[in-house]
Structure 1
Amino acid sequence: MAVSDVVISPVSGKADLKAFVDLAWTVYANDPAWVAPLKDEVHALLTPGKNPWFEHGEAHYFLARRDGKVTGRISAHIDHLALEQPVEQGMGPGTGNWGMLEALDEESAAALIAAAEDWLRGKGMHRALGPLSISIWDEPGLLTSGFDHPPTVMMGHGRPEYEGWIARAGYTPAKELRTYEIPITGDFPPLVQRIIQSGEKNERIVIRKVDKSKFTREAATILGILNNAWGDNWGFVPLTDTEIAFVGKKLKPIVFEDLIRIAEIDGEPVAFMMTLPDLNEALGPLNGSLFPFGWAKLLWWLRAPKVRTMRVPLMGVVKRLQSSRIASQLAFMMIEYIRRDAVTKYGASRGEFGWVLEDNQGMVAVADAINGHINKTYIIYEKPL
């Protein structure tokens, strides 16, 4: 398939896959806000047998070339668990995805998107939703504001031009995702403090740190709450047991007991908040490789990380308590306890949580109550095929 002098071909073999991964270094060569991912991590994300997503998903990758030079890349993929979700929640039967889009020019991007759409049609899909790289749990959405500062750990970056390119390919916004910057060096507003103090007087409530010596059990508890809490959310796809184990193993090096809290009522775990030191602050100087000395620098950093930013990627309260007064109380208590340790033990001066769905009224209200402001927005787009 060719559009003008742009030639699109499927990724075939190790050399093509290397070119697919390496293209990002060309695209962002002059972008000071881009943080290079670890290349081994990107290869693992894309490889069946290494990423358990492939136990319920399938993917195909494409490269764009002009005069033999790689000018773009894209992934097309189908998550069979997503196909089983209710249509009103964003996924559902007939919805395929694309992602990992990077391109040096609009012509290449348009040809790549068309190739991804053709592949999805060939698989019986009648709607495209993207970008997702690769799962909704990885890096969903296209960055549309906040280009001037680096993304935090596990968040994506992008070029400002992409928004127009995707729109001209016939896509419209399906959902906006937001991250919120939170001031954490000072006390939260008096109302929030009163809510926290009230919770501390409730003997039924316990906010505890995770026990890393029981990591597998704690991870299962947290992700069990997550699957329950997020089950009705737009875009939700349940994590499998294999994925839970995979995510736990991947995150274990940056898990610190005082930065992850579980809330219990009468001894039952009902809510959690996961906070991660911004690993991107350590990864930035490594330029995507742990060799020859990057691994030693990273291990040293992980022993006692000092960071500017803490990120809250995941937070949840079991469904039966959502929209109740105690749900927000538990949230504020966990946020405050983690805030204190983040500042005093890790030297953090700012917090970020997200992504948050634009219409998640509970989380938006929490962000507003602690003086949060939107610092990045991401858009997931859709198009009938």
Structure 2
Amino acid sequence: MTPQDLVISPVSGKADLKAFVDFAWEVYKDDPNWVPPLKAETLDLLTPGKNPFFEHAEAQYFLARRGGRITGRISAHIDRLALTMSPEQGMGPGTGFWGMFDALDEASAAALIAAAEGWLKAKGMTRALGPVSLSIWEEPGLLTLGHDHPPTVMMGHHLPQYEGWVKTAGYAPAKELRTYELDITTGFPPLIQRIIQSGEKSDRIRIRRVDKSKFDREAAIILGILNDAWGDNWGFVPITDAEVAHTGKKLKPIVFEDLIRIAELDGEPVAFMMTLPDLNEALMPLNGALFPFGWAKLLWWLRKPQVRTMRVPLMGVVKRLQASRMASQLAFMMIEYIRRDAITKFGATRGEIGWVLDDNQGMNAIAEAINSTVNKIYTVYEKGL
């Protein structure tokens, strides 16, 4: 039962929105594995007109207060593109979302989730998925395994107790998203090396670096492969041109030609692998602020990042090849070439692949074949409204 002194109110105005963002620093102040996001970037994420997600979505944010002190936050949002997807893919008509979820106690958590559900029901939604913050392409899922080490760039971090609070609110797991880690300083097993060497002898296969001077063209190629490769996956929602441009601009400083490969078969682009240096290693000391000195430190780091970890956020092979040996061969070749450059040019020693859907048999098999192990699980929960 919600204590009588607990008040849930919609975020209204700039002061509330700032408090909504700042609350994370209260929740995770004693958590050594939390990576403070840049506050300005989080504010942009939440602001219509600055985030193209809102061209096809609407949201309401809520704060919990007890005695004037903020004790929790949550977003409730509807993605109109998700409503058009097939229910068999996890979205579809009637599906709303909540995310940006943090709370200091279970009563606040329960009241916030109830507030989000109430907003979604008032908008005609019949099912809630959460947490998803805000788009499925951003930070989906609640961290349910791997709280003992920091997340990599563009991945979330949550308190362990949230899992129990969400389940108590009536939610059941809808999908698990896994990340895999591996030591990239050692070569892959002999069988994998033979597969790579066989591909190198084929006149049909070309693995090339992206050309950053032709950023828009390369982004269009990657997006075309991604939409084809992921189109039938659980949770897939099309990425709009505006979102591609926005994300490209945001990621361009950490996009390096050595770390992104496009695979061509008979001259046609059929697969890609995107790898990013773990920006979180540079962000953690900044505590969310670029000023007065953070911007200089970050710019210096971006000139030539030297990192421990590389993250593979996206990888795809066109649908017509996915059940073939060629798909695995192309994947292993791209992974190996990027692995070599990550070590020699960026000083990396560790890789992280993900997220990967728990039922993506092909990608899970590839991850296991190169001796990687699951290091984090993010769970997306669902509930009928």
**What range describes the TM-score normalised by the shorter chain of this pair?**
over 0.9
| Runs of 5+ unmatched residues, structure 2 | none
The 5-angstrom pairing of residues 362-373 of structure 1 reads: 362-373=362-373
Residue identity matched to 2:19: A
SS of equivalent to 1:307: coil
Residue identity matched to 1:277: P
User: Is the 1:179–1:374 contact (alpha carbons within 8 Å) kept by the matching residues of 2?
Assistant: yes
The 5-angstrom pairing of residues 81-100 of structure 1 reads: 81-100=81-100
1:130-179 Cα deviation digits (max 9, x unpaired): 10000000000000010110000000000000000000000000000100
What is the aligned partner in structure 1 of residue 314 from structure 2?
A: 314
Residue identity matched to 2:210: V
What is the aligned partner in structure 1 of residue 359 from structure 2?
A: 359
What is the aligned partner in structure 1 of residue 377 from structure 2?
A: 377
- Report the Cα distance in structure 2 between the residues aligned to 1:188 and 1:366, rounded to whole angstroms: 11
- Report the Cα distance in structure 2 between the residues aligned to 1:130 and 1:370, rounded to whole angstroms: 32
SS of equivalent to 1:289: coil
- Report the Cα distance in structure 2 between the residues aligned to 1:174 and 1:96, rounded to whole angstroms: 14
What is the aligned partner in structure 1 of residue 35 from structure 2?
A: 35
Residue identity matched to 1:75: S
SS of equivalent to 2:383: strand
1:27-68 Cα deviation digits (max 9, x unpaired): 000000000000011001100000000000000000000001
SS of equivalent to 1:232: coil
What is the aligned partner in structure 1 of residue 112 from structure 2?
A: 112
The reply to whether residue 137 of structure 1 matches residue 137 of structure 2 is: yes
What is the aligned partner in structure 2 of residue 170 from structure 1?
A: 170
The 5-angstrom pairing of residues 16-95 of structure 1 reads: 16-95=16-95
How far apart are residue 3 of structure 1 and its match? 4.8
How far apart are residue 183 of structure 1 and its match? 1.6
What is the aligned partner in structure 2 of residue 127 from structure 1?
A: 127
- Report the Cα distance in structure 2 between the residues aligned to 1:52 and 1:182, rounded to whole angstroms: 34
What is the aligned partner in structure 2 of residue 297 from structure 1?
A: 297
What is the aligned partner in structure 1 of residue 338 from structure 2?
A: 338
- Report the Cα distance in structure 2 between the residues aligned to 1:229 and 1:182, rounded to whole angstroms: 24
User: Is the 1:281–1:307 contact (alpha carbons within 8 Å) kept by the matching residues of 2?
Assistant: yes
What is the aligned partner in structure 2 of residue 12 from structure 1?
A: 12
Residue identity matched to 2:302: L
Residue identity matched to 1:159: L
SS of equivalent to 1:59: strand
User: Is the 1:192–1:370 contact (alpha carbons within 8 Å) kept by the matching residues of 2?
Assistant: yes
User: Is the 1:306–1:346 contact (alpha carbons within 8 Å) kept by the matching residues of 2?
Assistant: yes
What is the aligned partner in structure 2 of residue 262 from structure 1?
A: 262
| Runs of 5+ unmatched residues, structure 1 | none
The reply to whether residue 275 of structure 1 matches residue 286 of structure 2 is: no
Residue identity matched to 2:309: T
RMSD of the TM alignment (CA)?
Answer: 0.7
SS of equivalent to 1:381: strand
- Report the Cα distance in structure 1 between the residues aligned to 2:284 and 2:6, rounded to whole angstroms: 32
User: Is the 1:271–1:315 contact (alpha carbons within 8 Å) kept by the matching residues of 2?
Assistant: yes
- Report the Cα distance in structure 2 between the residues aligned to 1:48 and 1:222, rounded to whole angstroms: 27
Residue identity matched to 1:110: A
- Report the Cα distance in structure 1 between the residues aligned to 2:3 and 2:249, rounded to whole angstroms: 43
- Report the Cα distance in structure 1 between the residues aligned to 2:323 and 2:75, rounded to whole angstroms: 38
User: Is the 1:3–1:111 contact (alpha carbons within 8 Å) kept by the matching residues of 2?
Assistant: no
SS of equivalent to 2:121: helix
Residue identity matched to 2:234: W
The 5-angstrom pairing of residues 177-188 of structure 1 reads: 177-188=177-188
User: Is the 1:110–1:165 contact (alpha carbons within 8 Å) kept by the matching residues of 2?
Assistant: yes
How far apart are residue 4 of structure 1 and its match? 2.7
1:76-133 Cα deviation digits (max 9, x unpaired): 0000000000001000000000000000111001000000000000000000001000
How far apart are residue 327 of structure 1 and its match? 0.3
Residue identity matched to 1:204: R
- Report the Cα distance in structure 2 between the residues aligned to 1:358 and 1:296, rounded to whole angstroms: 40
- Report the Cα distance in structure 2 between the residues aligned to 1:3 and 1:9, rounded to whole angstroms: 15
SS of equivalent to 1:64: strand
Residue identity matched to 1:150: P
How far apart are residue 267 of structure 1 and its match? 1.3
SS of equivalent to 2:306: coil
1:319-351 Cα deviation digits (max 9, x unpaired): 111111100000000000000000111110000
Show structure 1 runs of 4+ deviating over 6 A.
none
The reply to whether residue 209 of structure 1 matches residue 176 of structure 2 is: no
Q: Give the number of aligned pairs.
A: 384
- Report the Cα distance in structure 1 between the residues aligned to 2:171 and 2:319, rounded to whole angstroms: 33
Residue identity matched to 1:267: G
How far apart are residue 223 of structure 1 and its match? 1.4
- Report the Cα distance in structure 2 between the residues aligned to 1:211 and 1:145, rounded to whole angstroms: 37
Residue identity matched to 1:242: A
Residue identity matched to 2:155: M
What is the aligned partner in structure 2 of residue 233 from structure 1?
A: 233
SS of equivalent to 2:300: helix
- Report the Cα distance in structure 1 between the residues aligned to 2:227 and 2:246, rounded to whole angstroms: 16
SS of equivalent to 2:273: strand
Identity %: 78
